[in-house]
């Protein structure tokens, strides 16, 4: 996907450093922190944040992942009911502060599904949300605790976070969606 | 150096951003040159003028839709021998979000030497003049200026009022505050020795009372009384709602022109309008078509005036 | 003029300084003193002349002035989110270059500084910067003007004030709630007083110049209405109100009357509103205390200068005032109605200012030119040097609970400058990442030679303490 670059590699790194710091600051330290990345790009993002926390605090925070896919009842409808495929490698979350990590926050439905999955898995003390981009258009009352960039968008636009782990480059792009 | 062999000195300035740059004698000389070129065109013999801009590439950069002015400039430039490039903004990189400065710099690199620029933002031609090496001719910038329009209005009026504007009273009625035509006319008319009276709703005229040589009238009757000529401006329909007046109907009732109201002005006082007209709003269709109306002559003077300006700009 | 290649920056985390500045003019607004003497710093503290080590480094202070370090109540450091225009690090260097030892970072960053963790982040970035970075937190969540921010937590987290700067609080109700909630914390609500319905669509101050230029004019009532509203609310709730970047005589009068009544209101003005007028948009470049420029004298007569007319760096919110109002603001600084001069340092990259006036991002950089503009006013006789220095140091510092003292024993927090020297505003002389100021290319008085914050040298122009 081509498009206009909103954040370059440097901007992205700076935002993640800040978010890592905010997470530790907001938790009053690293005790009880668990990072859970939402597939696909939330996972390398969660891992990067854990690495930054380790570099700064000298502590290894557990990292898990959740795979959310969309249920489509027919091809012409926009997906509206995400379901959790299967929870892989979820560390213990009971009595922990879970930080859910995703690349783009949009309607909030993916986050909602992830929240359900996490609470199915255990009883966390708290769940926080960290995203690289908040693009607005929320359909549920969900607000990120940590955000890299607020990016007001129109519905016919598409925001993509590209990471070297998955796409070979670090950047955030915005483009008009091709007509359906 | 004489321009087009017609004994007119070229200017030392490379841009025409607004008529405020021209002294009274320069204004008169420009109008004289335009009149001479007009005669030459009618006679079908432009002589030396045909080669004035030979080898010169001129770009039309119109960021606002316009047929009349754009065609007028294109004709003027071609008749002087220039190669004309039309930068049609819709579909160009400018529309895709390239900045004005970048677009103009690119234009300059392709060999264009003069740009005729019309832009919705006041001050745009000044920005281009200071960030590129192009010669800039302002074809209208936001509500600020439209120098060639004011020049052709002055030429039209001068012809209709016996060869001079000294001591004449000219009424301008309408949305002066948002009109670049009105602003440029205020410069030319006052500099040529005329008095100007403005008429219109307060939000559209009150701010101009401090302009030397300009008065603001309280009613249409007061504005027209004693006027040697009347100019009315296009009511910008998109601006009417919530923009200083109640409804268009009220504007027409209080400030609209028709043949009966025109009789409040001096006998046979001519009518000007920069076009395009909203018949039924600022003036009636009958008035626009009547003998008083110089609208047609304004248009035909446009090419001659633009030829004059293009000839006078320094290289 | 001292070459810029000798400029050096230090950090708050460096070793404390030790040196003697001989024969320097020390102006201390705290006790009204103004005398030429020696000033000694030992291990970062001001020392008595008799307690000095024999081998103390001696510097020649002849012709220089020492004042308490400046404090800027209104700075935009653009981090997080707009680091292309400025960062905490570069903004702090610009501050040090301008003689500022502390700046209050405004919260209209991306994301906004409305959460404790984010305030902590900016504070962390400032820890090893060239000036103390204090944070003004947002007054409402996300600066959206709807839900109040968590004032108590933010105050505990180090916020020195609250503001939704960039906009006024949108309704009287929210403004009243904010004043009521913030009051007991002893911190001010900083309001950007501008009524959006009156300001909407306007580009410069209403007046003959705006009429001439064909730019929609901003009426003074846009500022006055919010000032009146907030004064009434502050009076009613007892909350502490600070009105920032006042630009009209009418608003200043309202503040004066409110102070007389005992309302807890303070205000600041920017150096650009004091020195520049609306005629600058038309291309004039004369200061308000000098002879009027061509457009100022004849708004409708003169041809506009293509090199300067409609310069995007002259676009600012609130817009540059008419000369008359600017002179009233200057009198306000002189008589104390204006509590502080604050820069509203607003960096923007060139693609946002080298554009059509209507597209230009409003705001100009100001940390590095503030002292110079003030000194120009002093040279013209409309301000006293002591009055200027108080408005830039002790008085704004007091509003955020900082002290400024030049007494022996105090930690050195000061600026040393040469009022007789002049400098040309150009890219190479600016520490800010941005250059958006109409002063570019102009030569202005006053060169900062040394700045010390927390006893450390944070800026050194040819004095040889930092190499």
The average pLDDT across A33-51 equals 95
d(CA C263, CA A41): 54
Question: What residue numbers bound the domain in which B48 lies?
Answer: 19-145+300-312
In a domain, B9, yes or no: no
**C408 in Cβ contact with C41 (< 8 Å):** no
Claim to verify: residue B45 and residue B184 sit in the same structural domain = no
The average pLDDT across A12-34 equals 95
Question: What confidence tier does B4 reach under pLDDT thresholds 50, 70, 90?
Answer: low
Does the beta-carbon distance from A22 to C111 stay under 8 Å? no
Instruction: Output the DSSP codes for B253-298.
Output: HHH-B-HHHHTTSSTT--EE--S---BTTTB-HHHHHSTTB-HHHH
For residue B183, which residues of chain C lie inside 8 Å, CB to CB? Answer: 212, 214
Measured at the CA of C24, the angle between CA C18 and CA C27, to 5 degrees, comes to: 100
Question: Nearest Cα to C142, choosing from C177, C166, C173?
Answer: C166
The average pLDDT across B60-65 equals 91
**C90 in Cβ contact with C61 (< 8 Å):** no
Claim to verify: residue B159 and residue B225 sit in the same structural domain = yes
Q: What is the DSSP letter of B7?
A: S
**C211 in Cβ contact with C281 (< 8 Å):** no
| pLDDT of the residue at B240 | 56
Which residues of C participate in catalysis according to the annotation? 344
Question: Nearest Cα to C402, choosing from C161, C241, C106, C192?
Answer: C161
Claim to verify: residue B84 and residue B172 sit in the same structural domain = no
Which residues on adjacent β-strands are paired with residue C7? C461
Alpha carbon C439 to chain centroid, angstroms: 16
**C120 in Cβ contact with C109 (< 8 Å):** no
**B255 in Cβ contact with B230 (< 8 Å):** no
Claim to verify: residue B101 and residue B187 sit in the same structural domain = no
Mutate to test the interface with A, among C77, C79, C111, C115 (most CBs of A within 10 A): C111
d(CA B284, CA B287): 5
Give yes or no for residue A72 having a pLDDT over 70.
Answer: no
Q: What is the three-class DSSP state of A60?
A: coil
Does the beta-carbon distance from A21 to C111 stay under 8 Å? no
**C388 in Cβ contact with C377 (< 8 Å):** yes
| pLDDT of the residue at A84 | 58
The average pLDDT across C83-111 equals 97
Q: What is the DSSP letter of A91?
A: P
CA separation (Å) from B92 to A157, B106, C57, C176, C273? 22, 12, 65, 51, 40
Mean pLDDT of chain C, nearest integer = 96
Q: Does C198 touch chain B (CB under 8 A)?
A: no
pLDDT in tens, C421-467: 999 999 999 999 999 999 999 999 999 999 999 999 999 999 999 98
Q: Does C83 touch chain A (CB under 8 A)?
A: yes
**A177 in Cβ contact with A157 (< 8 Å):** yes
Which residues on adjacent β-strands are paired with residue B57? B83
For residue B126, which residues of chain C lie inside 8 Å, CB to CB? Answer: 304, 306, 309-310
Q: What is the three-class DSSP state of B179?
A: coil
Q: What is the DSSP letter of B51?
A: G
pTM, two decimals, is: 0.91
Does the beta-carbon distance from C355 to B100 stay under 8 Å? yes
**A55 in Cβ contact with A45 (< 8 Å):** no
Does the beta-carbon distance from A146 to C116 stay under 8 Å? no
Claim to verify: residue B287 and residue B157 sit in the same structural domain = yes
The residues in C 264-303 lying below 8 A from B, measured between CB atoms, are 299-303
| pLDDT of the residue at A89 | 73
- Write out the two tokens for A125: 């003390």
The average pLDDT across C81-97 equals 97
Which helix (H) or strand (E) covers residue C166, if one does?
A: none
pLDDT in tens, C360-381: 999 999 999 999 999 999 999 9
Give yes or no for residue B80 having a pLDDT over 90.
Answer: yes
Residue of C nearest to B13 (CA): C306
d(CA A32, CA C130): 36
Q: What is the DSSP letter of C241?
A: E
Which residues on adjacent β-strands are paired with residue A134? A105, A150
pLDDT in tens, A102-132: 999 999 988 988 988 888 889 999 999 999 9
CATH number of the domain that B278 lies in? Answer: 3.40.50.1370
CB under 8 Å to C290, separation ≥6 — which residues? C380
| Rounded (10°) CA dihedral A123, A125, A131, A136 | 90
Our count of domains for chain B comes to: 2
Q: What is the DSSP letter of C465?
A: S
Claim to verify: residue B269 and residue B171 sit in the same structural domain = yes
Claim to verify: residue B89 and residue B228 sit in the same structural domain = no
- CB-side neighbour CA atoms (13 Å) of C347: 30
CB-based burial of residue B237 (10 Å sphere; 0-12 exposed, 13-18 middle, 19+ buried)? exposed
For residue A15, which residues of chain C lie inside 8 Å, CB to CB? Answer: 80
The ipTM (two decimal places) reads 0.93
Claim to verify: residue B192 and residue B135 sit in the same structural domain = no
For residue C358, which residues of chain B lie inside 8 Å, CB to CB? Answer: 121-123, 142
Which of C83, C110, C118 has its CB closest to that of A22? C118
Q: Does C214 touch chain B (CB under 8 A)?
A: yes
Output the CA torsion sign for C346, C351, C353, C356: negative
Question: Nearest Cα to A103, choosing from A173, A55, A152?
Answer: A173
| pLDDT of the residue at B6 | 65
d(CA A75, CA B91): 33
CA distance A174 to chain C (A): 17
Question: Nearest Cα to B126, choosing from C358, C356, C285?
Answer: C356
| pLDDT of the residue at B242 | 53
**C65 in Cβ contact with C420 (< 8 Å):** no
d(CA C457, CA B183): 56
Helix axes B24-43, B180-191, angle to 10 degrees: 110
CATH no., domain C68-405? 3.20.20.140
Q: Backbone phi, then psi, for C257, in 5-degree steps? A: -65, -40
CA distance A14 to chain C (A): 8
Does the beta-carbon distance from B127 to C213 stay under 8 Å? no
| pLDDT of the residue at B285 | 93
In a domain, B8, yes or no: no
Q: What is the DSSP letter of C352?
A: G
Q: What is the three-class DSSP state of C454?
A: coil
In a domain, B12, yes or no: no
Claim to verify: residue B118 and residue B221 sit in the same structural domain = no
Residue of C nearest to B208 (CA): C211
> What number of other Cβ atoms are within 10 A of residue B238's Cβ?
7
In a domain, B1, yes or no: no
Measured at the CA of C35, the angle between CA C32 and CA C37, to 5 degrees, comes to: 135
Give yes or no for residue B90 having a pLDDT over 60.
Answer: no
CB under 8 Å to A94, separation ≥6 — which residues? A122, A123, A124
Number of H helices, E strands in chain A: 4, 9
Question: What confidence tier does A152 reach under pLDDT thresholds 50, 70, 90?
Answer: confident
**A20 in Cβ contact with A128 (< 8 Å):** no
Question: What confidence tier does A73 reach under pLDDT thresholds 50, 70, 90?
Answer: very low
For residue B17, which residues of chain C lie inside 8 Å, CB to CB? Answer: 304, 306
d(CA C393, CA C404): 7
- Write out the two tokens for B212: 């030397």
* Chains touching chain C, criterion 3+ CB pairs below 8 Å: A, B
* Chains touching chain B, criterion 3+ CB pairs below 8 Å: C
In a domain, B118, yes or no: yes
Q: What is the DSSP letter of A27?
A: H
Q: What is the DSSP letter of B19?
A: G
| pLDDT of the residue at A76 | 40
In a domain, B48, yes or no: yes
| Rounded (10°) CA dihedral B178, B184, B190, B196 | -30
d(CA A128, CA C415): 45
| pLDDT of the residue at A70 | 54
Claim to verify: residue B231 and residue B307 sit in the same structural domain = no
pLDDT in tens, B13-36: 999 999 999 999 999 999 999 999
The average pLDDT across B213-219 equals 96
Residue of C nearest to B15 (CA): C306
CB under 8 Å to C350, separation ≥6 — which residues? C435, C436
The average pLDDT across A58-76 equals 71
Give yes or no for residue C258 having a pLDDT over 70.
Answer: yes
Claim to verify: residue B112 and residue B164 sit in the same structural domain = no
Q: What is the DSSP letter of B227?
A: -
DSSP strand pairing (A4-7 vs A171-176): antiparallel
Percent of chain A surpassing pLDDT 90? 63
Q: What is the three-class DSSP state of B3?
A: coil
Residue of C nearest to B123 (CA): C310
Give yes or no for residue C391 having a pLDDT over 80.
Answer: yes
CA distance C315 to chain B (A): 13
Domain-wise residue ranges, chain C? 68-405
d(CA C112, CA C192): 16
**C462 in Cβ contact with C6 (< 8 Å):** yes
Which helix (H) or strand (E) covers residue A171, if one does?
A: strand A171-176
The average pLDDT across C213-231 equals 97
Give yes or no for residue C109 having a pLDDT over 90.
Answer: yes
Which of B100, B129, B143 has its CB closest to that of C214? B143
Percent of chain B surpassing pLDDT 90? 79
């Amino acid at each position: 996907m081509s498009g206009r670059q909103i954040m370059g590699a440097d901007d992205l790194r700076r935002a993640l450093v800040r978010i890592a710091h905010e997470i530790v600051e907001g938790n009053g330290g690293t005790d009880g922190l668990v990072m859970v990345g939402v597939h696909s790009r939330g996972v390398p993002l969660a891992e990067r944040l854990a690495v930054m926390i380790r570099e700064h605090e000298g502590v290894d925070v557990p990292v898990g992942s959740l795979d959310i896919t969309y249920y489509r009842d027919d091809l012409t409808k926009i997906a509206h009911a995400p379901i959790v495929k299967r929870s892989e490698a979820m560390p213990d979350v009971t009595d922990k502060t879970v930080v859910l990590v995703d690349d783009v926050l949009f309607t909030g439905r993916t986050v909602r599904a992830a929240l359900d999955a996490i609470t199915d898995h255990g009883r966390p003390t708290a769940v926080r949300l960290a995203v690289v981009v908040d693009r607005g258009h929320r359909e549920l009352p969900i607000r990120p605790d940590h955000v890299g960039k607020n990016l007001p968008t129109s519905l016919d636009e598409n925001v993509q976070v590209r990471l070297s782990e998955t796409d070979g480059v670090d950047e955030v792009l915005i483009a008009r969606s091709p007509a359906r | 150096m004489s321009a087009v062999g017609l004994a007119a000195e070229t200017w030392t300035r490379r841009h025409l951003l607004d008529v405020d740059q021209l002294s009274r004698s320069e204004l008169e000389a420009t109008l004289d040159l335009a009149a001479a070129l007009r005669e030459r065109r009618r006679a079908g013999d432009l002589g030396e003028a045909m080669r004035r801009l030979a080898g010169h590439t001129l770009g039309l950069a119109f960021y606002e839709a316009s047929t009349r002015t754009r065609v007028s400039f294109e004709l003027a430039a071609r008749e002087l021998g220039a190669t004309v490039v039309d930068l049609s903004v819709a579909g160009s990189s400018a529309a895709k979000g390239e900045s004005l400065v970048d677009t103009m710099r690119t234009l300059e690199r392709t060999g264009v030497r003069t740009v005729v620029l019309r832009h919705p933002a006041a001050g745009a031609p000044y920005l281009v003049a200071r960030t590129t090496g192009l010669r800039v001719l302002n074809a209208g910038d936001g509500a600020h200026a439209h120098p060639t329009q004011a020049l052709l209005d002055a030429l039209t009026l001068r012809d209709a009022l016996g060869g001079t504007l000294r001591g004449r009273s000219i009424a301008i009625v309408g949305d002066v505050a948002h009109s670049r035509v009105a602003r440029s006319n205020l410069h030319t008319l006052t500099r040529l020795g005329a008095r100007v009276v403005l008429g219109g709703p307060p939000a559209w005229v009150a701010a101009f009372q401090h302009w030397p040589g300009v008065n603001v009238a309280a009613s249409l009757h007061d504005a027209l009384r004693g006027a040697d000529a009347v100019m009315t401006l296009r009511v910008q329909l998109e601006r009417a709602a919530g923009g200083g007046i109640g409804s268009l109907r009220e504007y027409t009732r209080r400030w609209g022109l028709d043949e009966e109201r025109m009789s409040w002005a001096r006998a046979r006082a001519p009518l000007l309008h920069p076009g395009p007209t909203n018949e039924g709003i600022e003036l009636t269709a009958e008035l626009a078509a009547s003998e008083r109306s110089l609208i047609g002559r304004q248009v035909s003077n446009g090419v001659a005036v633009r030829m004059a300006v293009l000839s006078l700009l320094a290289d | 003029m001292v070459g810029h290649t000798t400029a050096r920056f230090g950090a708050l985390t460096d070793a404390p300084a030790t040196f003697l500045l001989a024969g320097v003019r020390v102006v201390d607004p705290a006790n009204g003193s103004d005398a030429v003497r020696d000033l000694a710093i030992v291990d970062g503290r001001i020392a008595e002349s008799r307690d000095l080590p024999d081998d103390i480094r001696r510097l020649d202070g002849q012709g220089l002035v020492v004042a308490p370090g400046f404090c800027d109540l209104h700075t935009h450091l653009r981090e997080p989110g707009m680091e292309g225009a400025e960062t905490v690090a570069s903004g702090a260097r610009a501050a040090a270059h301008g003689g500022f030892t502390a700046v209050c970072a405004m919260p209209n960053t991306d994301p906004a500084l409305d959460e404790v963790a984010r305030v902590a982040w900016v504070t962390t970035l400032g820890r090893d910067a060239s000036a103390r970075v204090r944070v003004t937190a947002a007054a409402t969540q996300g600066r959206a003007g709807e839900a109040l921010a968590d004032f108590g937590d933010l105050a505990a987290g180090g916020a020195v004030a609250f503001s939704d700067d960039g906009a006024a609080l949108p309704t009287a109700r929210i403004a009243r709630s904010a004043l009521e909630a913030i009051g007991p914390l002893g911190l001010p609500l900083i309001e950007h007083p501008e009524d959006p319905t009156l300001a909407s669509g306007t580009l410069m101050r209403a007046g003959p110049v705006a009429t001439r230029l064909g730019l929609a004019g901003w009426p003074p009532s846009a500022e006055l209405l919010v000032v009146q509203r907030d004064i009434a609310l502050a009076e009613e709730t007892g909350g502490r109100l600070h009105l920032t970047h006042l630009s009209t005589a009418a608003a200043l009068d309202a503040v004066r009357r409110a102070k007389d009544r005992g309302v807890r209101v303070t205000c600041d003005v920017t150096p650009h509103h004091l020195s520049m007028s609306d005629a600058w948009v038309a291309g004039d470049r004369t200061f308000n205390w000098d002879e009027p420029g061509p457009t100022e004298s004849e708004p409708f007569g003169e041809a506009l200068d293509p090199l300067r007319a409609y310069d995007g760096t002259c676009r600012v919110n609130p817009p540059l005032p008419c000369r008359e109002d600017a002179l009233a603001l200057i009198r306000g600084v002189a008589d104390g109605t204006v509590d502080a001069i604050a820069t509203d340092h607003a960096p923007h990259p060139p693609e946002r200012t080298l554009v059509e006036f209507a597209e230009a991002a409003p705001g100009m950089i100001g940390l590095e030119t503030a002292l110079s503009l003030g000194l120009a006013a002093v040279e013209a006789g409309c301000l006293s040097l002591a009055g200027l220095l108080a408005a830039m140091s002790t008085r704004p510092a007091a509003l955020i609970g900082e002290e400024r003292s030049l007494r022996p024993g105090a930690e050195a927090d000061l600026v040393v400058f040469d009022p007789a020297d002049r400098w040309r505003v150009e890219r190479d002389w600016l520490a800010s990442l941005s250059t958006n100021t109409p002063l570019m290319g102009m030569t202005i008085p006053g060169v900062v030679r040394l700045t010390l914050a927390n006893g450390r040298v944070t800026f050194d122009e040819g004095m040889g303490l930092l190499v």
